[in-house]
Each structure stands twice: as structure tokens, then as C-alpha cells.
Chains A and B, each alone.
Chain A
């Protein structure tokens, strides 16, 4: 069975500082990988996805993620945090031949002025 591990349930960053959210997956074959963001009392919005094209994926709102097969990782970064980045972030995997998403436990980001 697939699983997703997000290291750190809470991350606090200063405005303007680097945001780094870690995601590791377990899968026998390279899956499709996603990062979603969830603002309070809202559904999930897709930030970016890895589909086996380029290993460095650029998403919305200045976020990007790098797929590293040797490390089974798909960490999310943003060079400079903005107050509006305060939210919960979820990493998810989907088997290439599957349909459902398997999510990590989420990382809540707090941005300090």
C-alpha cells in the first residue's frame, strides 16, 4: 500500500524567509505526486503536480517542488514566504493506474510578520 509522510505537522517561518515542506512517499513504482493547499473552512486547491515529465515542478503562488526518486521525496519550497501563505499543505500520491489520492497528514504553516 502507498503511504505519504510529511515531516513536521507545524512549520513557522518569518515573512520573506524560505518555506520548505517535506514529503516522502513509499511506492513500488514512481507515482503521480501532488501538493494541495487548504485554507480554513475551505476545500483543497492544487498547487502543483509531478507527472514524470520534469523533476522540478513549478506551481501557483511561487511554489515549486522537486521529485527525487533516489530519496522518494517531493519536497515543496517557496523562496520568500508571504502572509497569505499561512494555510495547511498536503502532499498526496496517486498510482499511475489508480484513481484515488493518498494524502499525508498535512503541515500547517504559520507566517510571522
Chain B
């Protein structure tokens, strides 16, 4: 399967713990995006990378959140000192870059985080 993959699919943690999620994009895609989706809502943009450069961050991405894409391939999203409000589905997407073009973003299955 050559789609976007995410690991783990589910994570249950206690408040205050740190968690890290991984996303593997489609291999030739140079753009990678993270979104957060809470129950009953649409996804909300968190951040995106072009190759290894993090080019945009949402105000939703507090200081406890950090994302990396060290070699321009897979990406990790870490949440430190988790809070119950962090419980959500974290979605990763990837696309090709294109100036002013509507390149389709391909989404992974998501990581569902539950903070107890």
C-alpha cells in the first residue's frame, strides 16, 4: 500500500504524559500537513512542511506541541504534558507542491488520542 500511514492508530495516555505520533507520507510527496479533528467537528490545520522546512504553524499549535520532519520524509508530532483537551484525532496528509495549484492532499487514517 503506498498511501499515507500513521502510527499508532490509537493512543491512550494519562494527563501530563508525553506522546509522539509518526506519519509516513506518500513517497514522492514533498508537502506534509498535520490536522486535528475533535469529535463532531471538521479537521483543523496545525502545521505543514515542505521537505524538511516547517513553513506554517497554526495558533492552535501551543508550545507543548512540536513537529519535525528531519529528512523530508516521515514526520513526528509530539505533545508534551498532555491535557484532556488534547484528546482528538490527529490526521496527517501529504501532497505534491505546486505554485497556486490545488494539489490534492491525501490523508492518512489518523491517530486517535485519548487523554485520561
A residues lining the B interface (CB < 8 Å)? 4, 9, 32, 34, 36, 41-46, 49, 51, 90, 92, 94, 96-97, 99-106
Contacts and interface: CB of A to CB of B under 8 A. Distances in A.
Contact of A90 (B42, B48, B58, B109): B42
Contacts, number: 60
A101 B105 contact: yes
Interface of B: 4, 31, 33, 35, 40-45, 48, 55-56, 58, 91, 93, 100-102, 104-110, 112
Given A43-B108, A43-B109, A43-B110, A32 B102 contact: yes
A94 B33 CA distance: 13
A67 B104 CA distance: 18
Contacts of A103: 42-44
A98 B21 CA distance: 26
A99 B48 contact: yes
21 contacts: A36-B107, A41-B112, A43-B4, A43-B93, A44-B91, A46-B104, A49-B102, A90-B43, A92-B42, A94-B102, A96-B100, A99-B31, A99-B56, A100-B33, A100-B48, A100-B58, A101-B33, A101-B43, A103-B42, A103-B44, A106-B40
Nearest to A4: B42
Nearest to B48: A99
Nearest to A51: B102
A101 B43 CA distance: 9
A101 B58 CA distance: 12
B42 A104 contact: yes
A51 B4 CA distance: 24
Given A43-B91, A43-B109, A102 B45 contact: yes
